[in-house]
Amino acid sequence: MNFFDWNYAIQLLPELFRAALNTISVTLLGFAIAIVLGLFLAIGRRSARIWISWPIGGVIEFIRSTPLLIQVYFLYYVLPNYGVSLTAMQVGVLGIGLHYACYLAEVYRSGLDAVPRGQWEAVTALNMSPSLAYRNIILPQALRPILPPVGNYLVAMLKDTPVLSAITVVEIMQQAKNIGSETFRYLEPITMVGVFFLVLSIVLAYLVRRVEARLEQK
Amino acid sequence: MTTSPVSNIQIAPSEILTGVSSAAISSPAIGKPMVSFRSVTKRYGDFTVLDGLELDVSAGEKVAIIGPSGSGKSTLLRVLMTLEGIDEGSILVEGESLTHMQGRNGKLVPTDAKHVRAVRGKIGMVFQGFNLFPHRTALQNVTEAPVHVLGVKPAEARDRAVQLLEMVGLGAKLDHYPSQLSGGQQQRVAIARALAMRPKVMLFDEVTSALDPELCGEVLNVIRRLGSEHKLTMLMVTHQMGFAREFADRVCFFYKGRIHEQGAPGQLFENPQEERTRSFLSAVREAN
């Protein structure tokens, strides 16, 4: 059994690095979709109009209750039959963004529910429009306590990106597998992928804590 | 009841407060009440909080609302502020309904959000729990709505907010966050915040109930000053009988969702006609 071959590992770096860029961009773009869409889903689900809140609630539950793998499969392999053709990368970003938007919607909801009722009464008494009230008064108070769980989902999302290899997105894990199947050496590429995820997760968690600390000061 | 004087309150000219002369406040309402409740009924499930309530308040009038808990006092203010809807009847502010408006064909139709906001803009409210925005300073609490709702220029809104906060004795606390202020100070910020929207009607919902007795005085002094120097219409739900008596033009005793008895403070407190009013007042006196 060979021990870790450092020279071989260094040779793999450029390839893995290119694939890592895909992983990172899927994560960041998907997360951007998730935090924006999740917010709208959360607000929609709280709507007093049931023709808004019920369908949105249904979609959230549906997506949260089915595996990400099936969702991206469906988007990538079934939708083209209906004339919607997207690249693997586009489906990856959309699929993972949508999936996590539904998780984040629930996190947002918990934050919004935690804002005291008196704040809603105050914005009504001051005649604020709902969008102004959300923007300036309700959301700033709702977001602070949910930052830690949002950060958790960001890291979870990063670690879910290898699922997208199933629809041919060449993220870092897929690249490592490709290298392994060509050379029959899995130790180095897979180890490096593990280290990559470890380091990136720690960096993301650190950044989230920095944001928390900054909000705390305000 | 403690009414410790607050020495650093400055007297402000009337324009600071409302931005309109007292004549402008009262003129549209000649012969027309500022606020009218017409057969207003409000239910929570099987419980009827307001039961065909009738109440007219004229411009500049100060009405104190007293009564046992559950009698509908706070609900009266809350439905007027549109925090809650009503089940029957109508509420008019300067003759304009909160629940209905003229449709295109001249028929009455339910109000839309725009109409409600237009009517609601005439009303300001101060809450028992202050409800200040915790992430905003005292000054920002007061400028937020004028800038973003009324479209006042930030510099102008700031000047006026400073004047209002000075009027309530908090000129030195402009940049303090609510968590850095005492309950009495927070409540005075809340009063300044409501006044910054230039309301014609001010609602005070048990504004001293959450305060230590020694802090009540500073809040009541501010309200007393508002009442004596400005022609605001005020509706006040209160447990402070002494203050109601001294401050109000009229006292309404609420019982079971209706006005059980009303009259000038002297008459209602000295010589109540109804048995229920007498028992309430004597119970309150005993408690004090």
Structural domain boundaries enclosing A36: 6-217
Chain B hits for A136, CB-CB cut-off 8 Å, are 144, 148
Across the range B188-205, mean pLDDT stands at: 95
pLDDT at A83 over 80: yes
Interchain CB distance below 8 Å, B125 and A125: yes
Instruction: Identify which of B206, B190, B81 has the alpha carbon closest to the alpha carbon of residue B145.
Output: B190
pLDDT in tens, B134-158: 999 999 999 999 999 999 999 999 9
- Interatomic CA distance for residues B132 and B136, integer angstroms: 8
**Chain A residues in contact with chain B using a Cβ-Cβ cutoff of 8 Å:** 116, 118-119, 121-122, 124-129, 132, 136-137, 140-141, 218
| Interface mutation vs chain A, best among B148, B193, B198, most A CBs within 10 Å | B148
H-only helix segments in B146-264: 154-167, 183-195, 213-229, 241-247
Average pLDDT over residues B250-277: 93
Give the Cα separation of B165 and A14 in Å (integer): 63
Contacts of A122 in chain B (CB under 8 A): 127, 131-133
Edge to edge, what strands does the sheet with B88-93 contain?
B47-57, B35-44, B88-93, B96-97
Nearest CB partner across the interface for B134, out of A127, A136, A141: A141
What pLDDT is stored for residue B288 in this prediction? Answer: 73
Mean pLDDT across B12-19: 46
Res A218: pLDDT:
62
Q: Given an 8 Å threshold on Cβ–Cβ distance, is B144 in contact with A126?
A: yes
Report chain B's mean pLDDT, rounded to a whole number: 86
The model's pLDDT over A36-80, given as tens digits with 9 standing for 90+, comes to 999 999 999 998 899 999 999 999 999 999 999 999 999 999 988
Judging by beta carbons within 10 Å of its beta carbon (0-12, 13-18, 19+), is residue B126 exposed, middle or buried? buried
Q: Which residues of A touch B121 (CB under 8 A)?
A: 127
Mean pLDDT for the stretch of residues B97-105? 78
The reported pTM is: 0.82
More confident call, B196 vs B209 = B196
Residue B24 pLDDT > 80:
no
For tokens 């929570």, the residue is B44
- Range A2-8 average pLDDT: 82
In this prediction, residue B115 carries a pLDDT of 87
Q: What percent of chain B has pLDDT over 70?
A: 89
> Chain A: nearest CA to B119, how far in angstroms?
10
User: Can you give the pLDDT at residue B164?
Assistant: 94
In this predicted structure, what is the pLDDT of residue B109?
75
Interface contact flag, A127 B127, Cβ < 8 Å: no
Cβ–Cβ below 8 Å for A128 and B149: yes
User: What pLDDT does B31 receive?
Assistant: 58
Q: What is the mean pLDDT of residues B224-251?
A: 90
- Banded model confidence at residue A122, pLDDT cuts 50, 70, 90: very high
Q: What is the model's pLDDT at position B95?
A: 87
pLDDT score for B108? 72
- ipTM for the predicted complex comes to 0.85
**Degrees, nearest 5: CA angle B234-B235-B236:** 115
Give the span between the Cα atoms of A118 and A121, in whole angstroms.
Answer: 5
CB pairs under 8 A between A and B: 55
Q: Residue A126 and residue B149: Cβ atoms within 8 Å?
A: yes
Give the pLDDT score at B100: 75
First to last CA, chain A: 56
- What is the pLDDT at residue B217? 86
CATH code, domain with A127: 1.10.3720.10
Beta-carbon separation of A122 and B131 below 8 A: yes
Q: Tell me the pLDDT tens digit for each residue of B154-171.
A: 999 999 999 999 999 999
Measured in angstroms, the CA of A115 and the nearest CA of chain B are apart by 11
Chain B closest CA to A218's CA: distance in Å?
A: 8
Q: Does pLDDT of A126 surpass 60?
A: yes
Question: What's the total number of domains in chain A?
Answer: 1
By C-alpha distance, the chain A residue nearest B203 is A125
Probe site for chain A from B112, B147, B149, B197 (most A CB atoms < 10 A): B149
Q: Does domain B14-32+59-84+113-287 have CATH number 3.40.50.300?
A: yes
* Helix, strand, coil in percent for chain A, rounding step 5: 85, 0, 15
**Across A170-190, average pLDDT:** 87
* Domain presence at residue A96: yes
Which pLDDT score is estimated for A62? 95
Q: What percent of chain A has pLDDT over 90?
A: 66
CA distance A105 to chain B (A): 23
Distances (CA, A) of B91 to A23, A182, B36, B100, B235: 60, 79, 6, 9, 14
The residue ranges of every structural domain in chain B are 14-32+59-84+113-287
Smallest Cβ–Cβ distance between B135 and the set A121, A132, A141 belongs to: A141
Closest CA to B163 of B21, B7, B6, B13: B13
Assess if residue A1 is contained within a domain.
no
Q: Which of B83, B120, B130 sits opposite A127 (nearest CB)?
A: B120
pLDDT tens digit string along B41-56?
Answer: 999 999 999 999 999 9
In a domain, A158, yes or no: yes
Residues contacting B44, CB < 8 A, separation 6+:
none
Q: Lowest mean pLDDT: which of A154-158, A212-216, B100-104, B186-190?
A: B100-104
Q: What percent of chain B has pLDDT over 90?
A: 65
pLDDT, tens only, A96-116: 999 999 999 999 999 999 999
Q: Among A207-216, B201-210, B260-269, B273-282, where is mean pLDDT lowest? A: A207-216
